[in-house]
Protein backbone atom coordinates (compact mmCIF):
# COMPACT_ATOMS: atom_id res chain seq x y z
CA UNK A 1 0.00 0.00 0.00
CA UNK A 2 1.40 3.39 -0.94
CA UNK A 3 1.63 5.82 1.96
CA UNK A 4 2.07 9.57 1.94
CA UNK A 5 4.49 9.41 4.90
CA UNK A 6 7.54 7.39 3.88
CA UNK A 7 9.82 6.00 6.58
CA UNK A 8 7.42 6.49 9.50
CA UNK A 9 6.83 2.77 9.96
CA UNK A 10 10.08 0.94 10.91
CA UNK A 11 10.89 -2.15 8.90
CA UNK A 12 13.78 -3.66 10.90
CA UNK A 13 12.39 -6.93 12.38
CA UNK A 14 15.22 -7.18 14.95
CA UNK A 15 14.39 -3.90 16.75
CA UNK A 16 10.70 -3.38 15.88
CA UNK A 17 7.88 -5.91 15.60
CA UNK A 18 4.64 -4.85 13.90
CA UNK A 19 1.71 -6.21 15.91
CA UNK A 20 -1.39 -4.85 14.20
CA UNK A 21 -2.81 -2.05 12.08
CA UNK A 22 -6.11 -0.17 12.15
CA UNK A 23 -7.55 1.85 9.27
CA UNK A 24 -9.90 4.73 10.02
CA UNK A 25 -11.59 7.49 8.05
CA UNK A 26 -11.92 11.01 9.39
CA UNK A 27 -13.12 14.08 7.50
CA UNK A 28 -12.79 12.32 4.15
CA UNK A 29 -9.22 11.13 4.75
CA UNK A 30 -8.01 7.64 5.54
CA UNK A 31 -5.49 6.92 8.27
CA UNK A 32 -3.63 3.80 9.33
CA UNK A 33 -2.62 3.35 12.97
CA UNK A 34 0.14 0.76 13.44
CA UNK A 35 0.94 -0.89 16.78
CA UNK A 36 4.67 -1.63 17.02
CA UNK A 37 6.63 -3.33 19.77
CA UNK A 38 10.16 -1.99 20.17
CA UNK A 39 13.05 -2.72 22.47
CA UNK A 40 13.66 -0.35 25.37
CA UNK A 41 16.30 2.26 24.69
CA UNK A 42 18.70 3.76 27.21
CA UNK A 43 17.15 6.68 29.08
CA UNK A 44 19.13 9.95 28.97
CA UNK A 45 20.97 11.41 31.96
CA UNK A 46 18.84 14.00 33.72
CA UNK A 47 20.01 17.32 35.14
CA UNK A 48 19.44 18.04 38.84
CA UNK A 49 16.71 20.68 38.59
CA UNK A 50 12.93 20.80 38.33
CA UNK A 51 10.36 22.65 36.26
CA UNK A 52 7.02 23.98 37.46
CA UNK A 53 4.28 24.54 34.87
CA UNK A 54 1.31 26.85 35.46
CA UNK A 55 -1.40 26.31 32.84
CA UNK A 56 -3.75 29.14 31.96
CA UNK A 57 -5.93 30.81 29.37
CA UNK A 58 -4.05 34.07 28.74
CA UNK A 59 -0.92 32.03 28.03
CA UNK A 60 -1.04 28.28 27.56
CA UNK A 61 1.85 27.46 29.90
CA UNK A 62 4.24 29.51 32.05
CA UNK A 63 7.31 27.57 33.16
CA UNK A 64 9.54 28.25 36.14
CA UNK A 65 12.61 28.34 33.85
CA UNK A 66 11.26 31.51 32.22
CA UNK A 67 9.72 29.95 29.12
CA UNK A 68 6.26 31.25 28.19
CA UNK A 69 4.12 29.26 25.74
CA UNK A 70 1.61 31.55 24.08
CA UNK A 71 -2.04 30.71 23.59
CA UNK A 72 -2.23 29.28 20.06
CA UNK A 73 -5.97 30.04 19.91
CA UNK A 74 -5.21 33.77 19.84
CA UNK A 75 -3.10 33.50 16.67
CA UNK A 76 -4.34 34.92 13.36
CA UNK A 77 -4.30 31.47 11.75
CA UNK A 78 -6.75 30.00 14.28
CA UNK A 79 -9.00 33.04 14.22
CA UNK A 80 -9.26 32.97 10.41
CA UNK A 81 -10.15 29.29 10.45
CA UNK A 82 -12.76 29.78 13.19
CA UNK A 83 -14.30 32.64 11.21
CA UNK A 84 -14.44 30.44 8.13
CA UNK A 85 -15.91 27.59 10.18
CA UNK A 86 -18.68 29.87 11.42
CA UNK A 87 -19.64 30.79 7.84
CA UNK A 88 -19.62 27.16 6.70
CA UNK A 89 -21.77 26.08 9.66
CA UNK A 90 -24.32 28.77 8.84
CA UNK A 91 -24.40 27.57 5.24
CA UNK A 92 -24.94 24.00 6.43
CA UNK A 93 -27.82 25.12 8.65
CA UNK A 94 -29.50 26.89 5.73
CA UNK A 95 -29.20 23.78 3.56
CA UNK A 96 -30.87 21.71 6.27
CA UNK A 97 -33.79 24.14 6.39
CA UNK A 98 -34.17 24.02 2.61
CA UNK A 99 -34.14 20.22 2.68
CA UNK A 100 -37.02 20.18 5.17
CA UNK A 101 -39.07 22.38 2.87
CA UNK A 102 -38.37 20.50 -0.39
CA UNK A 103 -37.86 16.91 0.72
CA UNK A 104 -40.87 15.66 -1.29
CA UNK A 105 -39.68 16.59 -4.78
CA UNK A 106 -36.58 16.29 -6.97
CA UNK A 107 -35.09 19.49 -5.60
CA UNK A 108 -35.01 17.90 -2.18
CA UNK A 109 -32.72 15.11 -3.43
CA UNK A 110 -30.27 17.65 -4.87
CA UNK A 111 -30.32 19.54 -1.57
CA UNK A 112 -29.51 16.33 0.31
CA UNK A 113 -26.39 15.82 -1.80
CA UNK A 114 -25.34 19.42 -1.18
CA UNK A 115 -25.77 18.85 2.55
CA UNK A 116 -23.28 15.96 2.46
CA UNK A 117 -20.76 18.12 0.60
CA UNK A 118 -21.21 20.94 3.11
CA UNK A 119 -20.86 18.55 6.07
CA UNK A 120 -17.52 17.40 4.68
CA UNK A 121 -16.33 21.02 4.49
CA UNK A 122 -17.25 21.59 8.15
CA UNK A 123 -15.57 18.32 9.20
CA UNK A 124 -12.35 19.27 7.41
CA UNK A 125 -12.23 22.63 9.18
CA UNK A 126 -12.78 20.97 12.57
CA UNK A 127 -10.01 18.49 11.73
CA UNK A 128 -7.68 21.29 10.66
CA UNK A 129 -8.19 23.20 13.92
CA UNK A 130 -7.73 20.05 15.99
CA UNK A 131 -4.50 19.19 14.17
CA UNK A 132 -3.02 22.65 14.77
CA UNK A 133 -3.78 22.55 18.51
CA UNK A 134 -2.51 18.99 18.92
CA UNK A 135 0.69 19.77 17.03
CA UNK A 136 1.30 22.78 19.28
CA UNK A 137 0.86 20.67 22.42
CA UNK A 138 3.31 18.07 21.08
CA UNK A 139 5.92 20.73 20.37
CA UNK A 140 5.55 22.31 23.83
CA UNK A 141 5.97 18.94 25.56
CA UNK A 142 8.95 18.04 23.39
CA UNK A 143 10.73 21.30 24.26
CA UNK A 144 10.05 20.82 27.97
CA UNK A 145 11.27 17.22 28.09
CA UNK A 146 14.42 17.91 26.05
CA UNK A 147 15.71 20.16 28.86
CA UNK A 148 16.04 16.86 30.85
CA UNK A 149 14.81 17.98 34.29
CA UNK A 150 14.65 15.60 37.24
CA UNK A 151 10.99 16.39 37.84
CA UNK A 152 8.11 18.34 36.32
CA UNK A 153 5.33 19.69 38.54
CA UNK A 154 1.84 20.56 37.32
CA UNK A 155 -1.42 21.41 39.08
CA UNK A 156 -4.39 19.05 39.30
CA UNK A 157 -6.89 21.28 37.51
CA UNK A 158 -10.62 20.78 37.97
CA UNK A 159 -11.40 21.05 34.26
CA UNK A 160 -14.95 19.74 34.67
CA UNK A 161 -15.72 22.45 37.21
CA UNK A 162 -14.02 25.13 35.12
CA UNK A 163 -16.17 24.17 32.12
CA UNK A 164 -19.30 25.20 34.05
CA UNK A 165 -18.30 28.85 33.60
CA UNK A 166 -20.19 29.72 30.42
CA UNK A 167 -17.95 32.72 29.75
CA UNK A 168 -14.72 30.69 29.74
CA UNK A 169 -15.88 27.17 28.82
CA UNK A 170 -15.03 27.50 25.12
CA UNK A 171 -11.55 28.93 25.81
CA UNK A 172 -10.85 26.18 28.38
CA UNK A 173 -11.97 23.42 26.00
CA UNK A 174 -9.72 24.76 23.24
CA UNK A 175 -6.65 24.61 25.50
CA UNK A 176 -6.87 20.79 25.83
CA UNK A 177 -5.49 20.60 29.37
CA UNK A 178 -6.32 16.90 29.79
CA UNK A 179 -4.61 15.95 26.53
CA UNK A 180 -1.55 17.96 27.60
CA UNK A 181 -1.34 16.10 30.91
CA UNK A 182 -1.81 12.68 29.27
CA UNK A 183 0.88 13.24 26.67
CA UNK A 184 3.24 14.83 29.19
CA UNK A 185 2.91 11.75 31.42
CA UNK A 186 3.71 9.41 28.52
CA UNK A 187 6.77 11.49 27.56
CA UNK A 188 8.02 11.66 31.16
CA UNK A 189 7.77 7.87 31.48
CA UNK A 190 9.76 7.53 28.27
CA UNK A 191 12.57 9.79 29.53
CA UNK A 192 12.45 8.67 33.17
CA UNK A 193 11.29 12.07 34.44
CA UNK A 194 9.22 12.26 37.63
CA UNK A 195 5.85 13.92 37.02
CA UNK A 196 4.46 15.53 40.17
CA UNK A 197 0.83 16.63 40.51
CA UNK A 198 -0.05 19.21 43.18
CA UNK A 199 -3.49 19.27 44.79
CA UNK A 200 -5.98 21.60 43.11
CA UNK A 201 -6.58 23.50 46.38
CA UNK A 202 -2.90 24.44 46.78
CA UNK A 203 -2.74 28.29 46.62
CA UNK A 204 0.08 28.52 44.08
CA UNK A 205 -1.02 31.92 42.74
CA UNK A 206 -1.76 33.45 46.16
CA UNK A 207 1.49 32.38 47.87
CA UNK A 208 4.58 34.58 47.85
CA UNK A 209 7.55 32.64 46.53
CA UNK A 210 9.99 34.81 48.49
CA UNK A 211 8.57 34.66 52.02
CA UNK A 212 5.71 32.16 51.76
CA UNK A 213 3.02 34.62 52.82
CA UNK A 214 -0.47 33.82 51.46
CA UNK A 215 -2.54 36.64 50.00
CA UNK A 216 -6.17 35.42 50.21
CA UNK A 217 -7.74 38.53 48.63
CA UNK A 218 -5.86 38.14 45.32
CA UNK A 219 -8.29 38.64 42.41
CA UNK A 220 -8.19 37.02 39.01
CA UNK A 221 -7.77 40.45 37.43
CA UNK A 222 -4.54 41.06 39.40
CA UNK A 223 -1.90 39.94 36.90
CA UNK A 224 1.04 41.09 39.04
CA UNK A 225 1.67 39.59 42.48
CA UNK A 226 2.75 42.15 45.10
CA UNK A 227 3.51 40.77 48.56
CA UNK A 228 2.35 42.96 51.43
CA UNK A 229 4.91 41.46 53.85
CA UNK A 230 8.25 41.52 52.01
CA UNK A 231 7.44 43.68 48.98
CA UNK A 232 8.16 40.88 46.47
CA UNK A 233 6.77 41.75 43.03
CA UNK A 234 6.49 39.28 40.18
CA UNK A 235 4.18 38.19 37.40
CA UNK A 236 1.23 36.26 38.85
CA UNK A 237 1.63 33.16 36.65
CA UNK A 238 5.41 33.03 36.92
CA UNK A 239 5.14 33.25 40.71
CA UNK A 240 2.70 30.32 40.62
CA UNK A 241 5.08 28.24 38.49
CA UNK A 242 7.90 28.84 40.99
CA UNK A 243 5.66 27.74 43.86
CA UNK A 244 4.65 24.60 41.96
CA UNK A 245 8.30 23.76 41.28
CA UNK A 246 9.25 24.01 44.97
CA UNK A 247 6.05 22.50 46.41
CA UNK A 248 6.72 19.63 48.82
CA UNK A 249 3.18 18.22 48.98
CA UNK A 250 2.53 16.41 45.72
CA UNK A 251 1.48 13.10 44.20
CA UNK A 252 3.62 11.20 41.71
CA UNK A 253 1.68 9.81 38.73
92-106 tens-digit pLDDT:
999 888 888 776 555
Go through the chain and tell me how many residues it has: 253
Distance, CA of 118 to CA of 107 (rounded, Å): 16
Count of H helices and E strands in the chain? Answer: 6, 10
CB neighbour list of residue 123: distance below 8 Å, 6 or more residues apart: 26, 27, 28
Alpha helices per DSSP H over the chain: 76-101, 106-145, 159-162, 169-175, 177-191, 236-246
96-141 tens-digit pLDDT:
888 887 765 555 567 788 899 999 999 999 999 999 999 999 999 9
CB neighbour list of residue 191: distance below 8 Å, 6 or more residues apart: 43, 44, 46, 145, 148
What is the pTM (predicted TM-score) of this model?
0.86
Q: What positions carry a catalytic annotation?
A: 54, 155, 237
- Average pLDDT of the chain? 88
Amino acid sequence: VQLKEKGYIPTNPYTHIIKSGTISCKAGRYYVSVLIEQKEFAKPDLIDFGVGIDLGIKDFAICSNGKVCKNINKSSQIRKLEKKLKREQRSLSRKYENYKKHNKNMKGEATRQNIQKQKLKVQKLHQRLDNIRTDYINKVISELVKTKPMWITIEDLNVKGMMKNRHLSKAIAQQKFFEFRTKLLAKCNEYGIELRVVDRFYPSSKTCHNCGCVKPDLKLSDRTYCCDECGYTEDRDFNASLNLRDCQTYKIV
